[in-house]
Amino acid sequence: MVPPLRPAALFAFSLGLAAGPAGGHPHIFVDSGFELVFDGEGRLAAIRTAWVYDAFFTLLVVEDGGHDADADGEISAEELKGLHGFDMDWPAGFEGDVEIVQGEVRARLGPPEDVTTDWRIGRLISTHLRRFDTPLDPASGEIVIRPFDPSYYTAYTVVTDTRFRGRDDCRAEAWEPDLDAAARELQAALAELAPGIDIEEAGYPPVGGLFAEEVRVTCGG
């Protein structure tokens, strides 16, 4: 999810991309982590997601909004108030850059709530809780969590162990994709675009899932 940026910040962003990796894609890098919340019946009822934004994007958000009022390079508790929920203005249809499946069924999640915003060592950190429309029973099979942006504009990396609240018999196994294979598929998808098309304006094909890490959760046994 990308908070809106004004023209000055977009110009600075484009300069940064020019010095970035070939194709300048993805543009935003986010470290993520999860806490799984179970109800009294042992079902997965909610998920708390943490996003830690890269330092460059953090700088753009802070400068674009004028949040560092005293220009000391730090965000005080008072300045942080103006950043609360900076990434929670979700457009219609946005799925929260996460896919949760059990078997062949994709779980549906409610809107974000209990939002927090923090600043640590030059990086913005946000968390939010989302409740499942229908709680998932782990006894029905493995639950797979895949954080990714379908357009691959934002790249997510799972950097913390998954935490569990409400059960103590669950395990989370991390799985990483074959990045070389994913890159080949990305190049093949880009090659299918019409010659001369401006990819930045037209939008990248929905290949983010190719690069998605997974958290595979099982309970009991």
For 32-60, the pLDDT digits (tens) are 999 999 999 999 999 999 999 999 999 99
In this prediction, residue 22 carries a pLDDT of 37
DSSP string, 91-122: PTT--TTEEEEETTEEP-B---EEEEEEEETT
Write down the pTM of the prediction.
Answer: 0.82
- Identity of the highest mean pLDDT range in 10-19, 64-73, 113-122, 175-184: 113-122
- Domain tally, the chain: 1
Whether 56 is in a domain gets the answer: yes
Identity of residue 168: D
pLDDT at 176: 86
Orientation angle between helical segments 55-65 and 7-18, nearest 10 degrees: 160
- In this structure, is residue 2 part of a structural domain? no
Q: Is 189 a domain residue?
A: yes
CA dist 18 and 14 (Å) reads 6
Find the mean pLDDT for residues 131-154. Answer: 95
In a domain, 148, yes or no: yes
Does residue 2 register a pLDDT over 90? no
pLDDT in tens, 67-98: 999 988 899 999 999 999 999 999 988 999 99
Residue 1 belongs to some domain of the structure: no
Task: Provide the domain limits for residue 56.
Answer: 7-219
Q: How confident is the model at residue 193 (pLDDT cuts 50, 70, 90)?
A: low
Using the predicted structure, report yes or no on whether residue 173 has a pLDDT greater than 70: yes
